[in-house]
A and B are shown apart, each in its own frame.
Chain A
Amino acid sequence: MSFQIPIGPQHPALKEPISLRMTVEGEVITDVDMRLGYNHRGMEKLAEEKSWLQNIYVTERICGICSHSHATCYVQGVEKLMELAPPRRGLYIRYLVAELERVHSHLLWLGVAGHEAGFDSFFMYTWRDREIVMDLLEMISGNRVHYAINTLGGVRRDIDEGQKAKILEGVATLRKRSEYYFYIGANEPSFVARIAGVGYLSKESAIALCAVGPVARASGVARDVRKDDPCAVYGELDFELATADTCDVLGRVVVRVKELLESYKLIEQMVKGLPAGDIAVKAPRKAKPGEVVSRYEAPRGENIHYIKANGTDKPERLKVRAPTLANYPATVEMLRKGFIADIPLIFAAIDPCICCAERTVTLVAAGSGEESVVRMSDLRRRAIARHQNAPVKRNAVWPL
């Protein structure tokens, strides 16, 4: 006897709207269906109507947690299109902010993992410590969430000696705290018992389902854009790839804590070895016709932006493949054979950013549940027909 239980689009276990339909037999999940499109905002279409420069701020707003990673991915691509070579100091500051962002994202996720596992004091402490890195980011860029530090051809703000000292001091505190969390994770039996063996994803299926980021690395797949395709700065820095081979939520926690420690290493190297010079070069307003694919290792995994230029000051097409979207097929595999009680934990373990991944809307008939694809012209025709048939609203008032 199998039942179907819907989770979402609005559900206390989810932070953002997504619809998960679980087919369960007793307590065990046998099949999962995901439905996206509840948070679709038309970002890609919007990007086609803004200039190259304005689009930095548009792409930054694709996500609130990994805002810098989308902006960096976009800027990398556009710089390649415009054949710009950003100065090395600019690049160092750009990837310094990127690593600080990874620290804040992973600390946030650790807190969420603790919360989903029922370890709320862990959540409180990680989020308190996250404030340190948020304050550092605010000091460098002028804001806590949308740093807006990238510009075409470099970065917008320089770092002085006082800020360098503050960054090193903050990182030293955070390193001590993260090592403590690593110790807690290894020694707190109730926490380990809750997350070990949950959400199993074998190495073979991680490769077959194209998992990215910490989800893939926790299944023993050493895949990281920073190592595989080192852009600009990462080739010169010394860091290790964090992997785990337990293939479960425990592995994902371990990978993220290890990555935190690697990020501190990277931040220290970048602050100490910050080259002198300019921070940006002047960018043209137009890009030559061409196309480019830009990759960047966001905290959640590989982020891909495809940009096509047609010679004007606006992109012809911007396609965003957010890491969360790449991890959905793996999530279905992880949830299968799991328990209903593990759904929030497994789903949270991919660090889902739903608004990042919303690139399409599916039309589902409310009665029959049939899905359909409708062309824009058809939608328009339907809208006109509906408008003509609808009764005139006599008492409608313009609210402004």
Chain B
Amino acid sequence: MKLAVFLPELLRHLFKKPATVDYPFKKLAVPVNFRGTPYLNPERCIVCRACERDCPAEAIEISSVNEAEKRFKMIIHNDRCVHCAQCVDSCPTTPKAMLMDSLFELADDDRHKLKKDWVYVRAVLKPKAAAPATPPPAAEPKA
């Protein structure tokens, strides 16, 4: 048993820089795959509603604006979003229509201002993507 074992460590830290950063003026970079805020790339969305179905927080809302024109509206309620990125995982298109950005400073004075919406025409699957879907039925009878 000695006295004041912690003292050398304390004294050493007198000559060190603080471990914290001066936050609002200096910001730490977020990692590459950071789960920030979800957003939609409307040109790619095929309105399969997989994201709406899988969202645990019911933060995604897709509604039809014009049935004939195949025009849809997606609202992301960022006030409800839990930033789990399940919508990105559920999105079946390649490249993905649902994506996450690295924004994390989302605070606002009104929760309704956090809503984000997109009105867009449903994307059609490219013939390229449809092509590999047809051969398998033809291949099955052979086997």
A interface residue numbers (CB < 8 A to B) = 50-51, 53-58, 61, 121-122, 125, 128, 131, 138-139, 142-143, 146, 148, 151, 156-157, 180, 183-184, 187-189, 400
Contacts and interface: CB of A to CB of B under 8 A. Distances in A.
Nearest to B33: A142
Contact of B35 (A142, A180, A189): A142
Contacts of B85: 142, 148, 156
Nearest to A191: B6
Contacts of B57: 57
Interface of B: 1-6, 9-10, 19, 30-31, 33-35, 53-57, 82-86, 89, 100, 112
B114 to A, nearest CB: 14
Q: What is the predominant secondary structure among interface residues of chain B facing chain A?
A: loop
A50 B55 CA distance: 10
Given A121-B6, A139-B31, A156-B89, A53 B19 contact: no
A127 to B, nearest CB: 9
A189 B3 contact: yes
Given A54-B56, A57-B56, 16 more contacts: A53-B54, A53-B56, A54-B55, A55-B56, A61-B82, A125-B9, A128-B19, A138-B30, A138-B34, A142-B33, A146-B82, A146-B84, A156-B85, A183-B5, A189-B2, A189-B3
Contacts, number: 63
Most buried by A among B34, B84, B100, B112: B84
Contacts of B112: 400
Q: What is the predominant secondary structure among interface residues of chain A facing chain B?
A: helix
A144 to B, nearest CB: 10
Nearest to A193: B1
Closest 9 CB pairs of A and B: A54-B56, A142-B35, A57-B56, A187-B5, A148-B84, A139-B31, A128-B19, A188-B5, A142-B33
18 contacts: A54-B86, A57-B56, A128-B19, A138-B34, A142-B31, A142-B33, A143-B83, A146-B83, A151-B89, A156-B85, A157-B33, A180-B9, A183-B5, A184-B5, A187-B2, A189-B1, A189-B2, A400-B112
A142 B56 contact: no
Nearest to A131: B19
A383 B9 CA distance: 61
Contacts of B56: 50, 53-58
Contacts of A131: 19
A138 B89 contact: no
Given A121-B6, A188-B6, A189-B1, A57 B86 contact: yes
A73 to B, nearest CB: 17
Contacts of B34: 138, 142-143
